[in-house]
Amino acid sequence: MKKLFAALILCLAPVGTAAAQDLQPLKIESGDAVHEFQVELADDDDERALGLMNREELGQDRGMLFTYDRPQRAGVWMKNTLIPLDMLFVAPDGTVVSIAKNAVPGSLRTIESGFAVKGFLEINGGQADALGIKPGAIVRHEALGNWAPEEN
């Protein structure tokens, strides 16, 4: 009976919500400010394809970091994405090279990085402006190779 109950709970769990154990620390250094986030990492084709699709909300200090094995031009869309997002495109050294602001939920328009990037960070739409994050800011995360152990 306990197994049946546990299976039923799993079937009723919301689809597309982040599991807390998957969250990793990330910092954005912008001017004199440091903004701390907890992010999910999308570092393979399946994770990158799913991204933040079907999510009804994203916490203010949450996001998803998409990374590639080697720098490349990134092109993404908002198909099946329910919330507006800011996309911070990140060079191999962690520098934000461009920002796509308030990407429209459900849009099939391709959003391009414009540069070869190591990856990109998705956060709530409007948050980059609210926090004063601009190109030139530095994104720090272990997957980018610029997170020092003492920063944990």
Say which CATH number the domain at 79 has: 2.60.120.1140
Question: Does residue 11 lie in a domain region?
Answer: no
Question: Does residue 26 lie in a domain region?
Answer: yes
Give the tens place of pLDDT for each residue, 98-121: 999 999 999 999 999 999 999 999
- Domain membership of residue 36 as a residue range: 18-145
- CB 65, CB 119: distance < 8 Å: yes
Question: Does residue 107 lie in a domain region?
Answer: yes
The tally of domains found in the chain comes to 1
Tokens of 53: 């699709």
Residues 3-11, mean pLDDT to the nearest whole number? 35
For residue 120, what are the contacts with CB-CB under 8 A and spacing of at least 6?
65, 66, 74, 76, 87, 88, 89, 90, 113
> Which pLDDT score, from 0 to 100, does residue 106 have?
95
> Which pLDDT score, from 0 to 100, does residue 148 have?
72
Q: Read off the pTM.
A: 0.83
Q: How far apart (Å, rounded) are the C-alpha atoms in residues 82 and 100? A: 16
- CB 152, CB 41: distance < 8 Å: no
Task: Name the DSSP letter for residue 67.
Answer: E
